[in-house]
Amino acid sequence: MRTVILSEIAVTLLGLITPYLITFGLYYVIGNDLDELLTLIYNNLFSSSQGYSFSRLTILILIFEAIISVISIGYIIMLQNTKKIKSRKTFSLLIWIFVIALAVYLVVPSASVEIIWILGIPVSYFFSHHFIYGKRKIVSEIFFTTLFLLVLLRQALYIIL
């Protein structure tokens, strides 16, 4: 959100590369195969992860959560100018975390379904803000109750089946 400083980019890239340099150095000193390490890093970053098949109920729950998420994010964006500076910065950061994690899940082939756990952090804040401060309490309560019952049903079916 501010001007780009070349030294900050260089320090960021150096910080990203440093663990790899240390690992390559240790592999070299120990005498392990560096090609094997390069193949391992390439597979972790660029190859496709194992597919995960969601059940129909899980897909229904995720679609319902996506609808509530869009409503909640829209509600937060509409009211962001009325919030205190700390709240605005926090919600902006949470929105960025949400967008980046979602983009990584959708675009990067090596990203697996576990990244949804990262998506859950900002989404829980969005949901709670919407459920607490929403104008229409009855709609928020219906959304919350429906979401709760769907998740409860999913867990019950997981235990039974």
The 10s digit of each residue's pLDDT in 95-145 is 999 999 999 988 888 888 888 889 999 999 999 988 888 888 898 899 999
Residues 98 and 115 sit within 8 Å (Cβ to Cβ):
no
Identity of residue 71: I
pLDDT tens digits, residue range 18-49? 999 999 999 999 998 899 989 988 887 788 77
Domain match, 14 and 90 both: no
pLDDT at position 63, please? Answer: 93
Residues 73 and 66 sit within 8 Å (Cβ to Cβ):
no
pLDDT at 158 over 70: yes
Q: What is the domain range of residue 11?
A: 6-46
Torsion of CA 157, 106, 123, 92, to 10 degrees: 180
pLDDT at 1 over 70: no
pLDDT at position 53, please? Answer: 83
58 class by beta-carbon count within 10 Å (0-12 exposed, 13-18 middle, 19+ buried)? middle
pLDDT at position 153, please? Answer: 94
Residue 143 lies in a domain: yes
Domain match, 30 and 99 both: no
- Evaluate the CA torsion angle 31, 41, 49, 117 in order and state its sign: positive
Task: Name the domain count of the chain.
Answer: 2
